[in-house]
């Protein structure tokens, strides 16, 4: 699913998909027009030009849109053709027989039945043609009444070629095959895109693993070498008794650094496990963050940090893994302890709208330099701040993976106006 969502987010996929759908739509409209042309549209199509008919602006009706169709306007009271879109129609129209033209709202059978009553069995050939809805060989005719704006009764005669049902069905079948093949082509393109993305993702993940192992090996090797050197010096007796304690403390700190790296590596391996963040429950995020601050109050006081919290009393609910979210907040607090001067202020604030919850975790320390921000969420990214090397390790990468599992985002932002530096976490708000 992750690979599919990655493909669907790519602009070139959507461009190709849009082009395919446009082609299909154009084909659909084209085929529909062909079929409409062959079906020779019924007189109802002219009803959408009712305003032009009532104003008697007949030349504004685009009859050329309907191949082979023509129309005429008749005043039967004076037996006169008032308008004809074709000389062929006006020359062959017998106005006195127009009463026999079948109305679109009246079955042919009723009109023929009335004609037999009026004429008996002797019906003129031209009247027979009109009764059967025929204007000439291969040409149909139908009519409907309408009233003009001047309250004058008019009859519209619509003349159109007869349809060939066999041809229409053949085209409909060919069109159906064409329209079915286009989505299949699009699906094939999507499948190829998915497979291509899977290969690229695997290659990228493999490169990241190799790079991570290389960096991890370097980060572990350095403090181990330092600790080994100090311990070897103590064993060899090259330090005085007064200096041995100091040297052993340095060795201990180096080993603690290795321990922390191994703990981070354990967190990284945990993010790859299928059960990672599988313990999600509906949680009051505001209360959850408040409790985290309360639990760490003593620790913050010892570090001489002050806390400002802007957390609404209203409950904002989200579906989260409380265990992993605690790890996330713990990691951000640990980074503040490492890189923020003593006496700084930590800020926690929460905002929400109908769809998402925003959690701001920040401080008023020196912030992060540009060279670190660019690689902030990359494993073992290293930068320099105040002439001191800063290694972000796997902590922030781990935080980002947690938020991604919650279908959210995480970013860093500086507020130059207030000298505040925030990590902004966005997660979907639960509907309660």
- Provide the whole-model pTM: 0.48
Give CB contacts under 8 A, 24+ apart, made by 246-255: 250/226, 251/226, 251/227, 252/227, 254/223, 254/224, 254/226, 254/227, 254/230, 255/223, 255/224, 255/227
Q: Give residue 196's pLDDT.
A: 72
Q: Give residue 12's pLDDT.
A: 58
Q: Give residue 289's pLDDT.
A: 94
Q: Give residue 386's pLDDT.
A: 41
Per-position pLDDT tens, the chain of length 432: 445 455 445 555 556 656 666 665 555 555 454 444 444 456 667 777 888 888 999 888 888 877 778 889 998 888 888 999 888 888 888 888 887 888 876 666 777 777 777 777 677 777 878 877 788 777 888 888 888 888 888 888 888 887 654 454 555 555 555 555 555 555 566 666 666 777 777 777 677 667 666 666 767 777 888 888 888 888 888 888 788 888 888 888 888 878 877 777 776 667 666 667 778 899 999 999 999 999 998 888 888 889 999 999 999 999 999 888 998 999 888 888 888 888 889 999 999 999 999 999 998 888 777 777 777 777 655 544 443 444 446 778 888 888 988 899 999 888 766 678 889 999 999 987
Check: CB of residue 271 under 8 Å from CB of residue 400. Answer: no
Calpha distance 79→87 (Å, rounded): 17
Check: CB of residue 99 under 8 Å from CB of residue 76. Answer: yes
Q: Which one, of 276, 285, 268, 266, lies nearest residue 348 by Cα? A: 285
């Amino acid at each position: 699913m992750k690979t599919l969502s990655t493909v669907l987010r790519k602009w070139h996929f959507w461009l190709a998909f849009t082009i395919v759908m446009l082609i299909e739509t154009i084909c659909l409209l084209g085929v529909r027009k062909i079929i409409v042309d062959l079906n020779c549209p019924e007189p109802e199509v002219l009803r959408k030009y009712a305003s032009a008919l009532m104003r008697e602006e007949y030349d504004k009706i685009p009859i050329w849109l309907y191949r082979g169709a023509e129309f005429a306007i008749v005043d039967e009271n004076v037996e006169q053709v008032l308008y004809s879109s074709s000389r062929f129609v006006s020359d062959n129209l017998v106005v006195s027989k127009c009463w026999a033209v079948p109305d679109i709202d009246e079955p042919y059978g009723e009109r023929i039945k009335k004609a037999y009553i009026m004429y008996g069995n002797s019906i003129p050939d031209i009247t027979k043609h009109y009764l059967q809805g025929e204007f000439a060989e291969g040409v149909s005719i139908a009519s409907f009444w309408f009233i003009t704006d001047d309250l004058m009764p008019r009859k519209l005669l619509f003349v159109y070629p007869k349809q060939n049902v066999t041809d229409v069905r053949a085209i409909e079948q060919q069109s159906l095959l064409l329209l079915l093949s286009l989505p299949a082509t699009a699906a094939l393109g999507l499948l190829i895109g998915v497979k291509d993305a899977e290969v690229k993702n695997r290659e990228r993940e493999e490169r990241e693993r190799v790079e991570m192992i290389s960096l991890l090996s370097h980060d572990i090797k350095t403090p181990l070498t330092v600790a080994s050197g100090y311990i070897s010096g103590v064993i060899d007796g090259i330090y005085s008794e007064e200096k041995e304690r100091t040297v052993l403390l340095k060795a201990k700190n180096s080993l603690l650094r290795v321990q922390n790296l191994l703990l981070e590596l354990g967190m990284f391996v945990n993010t790859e496990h299928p059960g990672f963040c599988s313990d999600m429950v509906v949680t009051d995020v505001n209360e959850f963050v408040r409790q985290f601050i309360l639990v760490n109050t003593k620790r913050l006081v010892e570090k001489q940090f002050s806390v400002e919290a802007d957390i609404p009393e209203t409950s904002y609910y989200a579906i989260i893994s409380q265990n992993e979210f605690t790890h996330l907040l713990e990691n951000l607090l640990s980074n503040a302890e490492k890189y923020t001067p003593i006496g700084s202020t930590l800020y926690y604030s929460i905002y929400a709208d109908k769809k998402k919850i925003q959690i701001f975790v920040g401080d008023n320390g020196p912030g992060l330099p540009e060279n670190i921000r660019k690689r902030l969420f990359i494993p073992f990214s290293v930068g320099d701040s105040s002439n001191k090397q800063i290694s972000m390790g796997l902590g922030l990468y781990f935080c980002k993976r947690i938020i991604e599992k919650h279908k959210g985002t995480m970013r860093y932002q500086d507020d130059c106006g207030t000298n505040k530096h925030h990590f902004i976490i966005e997660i979907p708000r639960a509907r309660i």
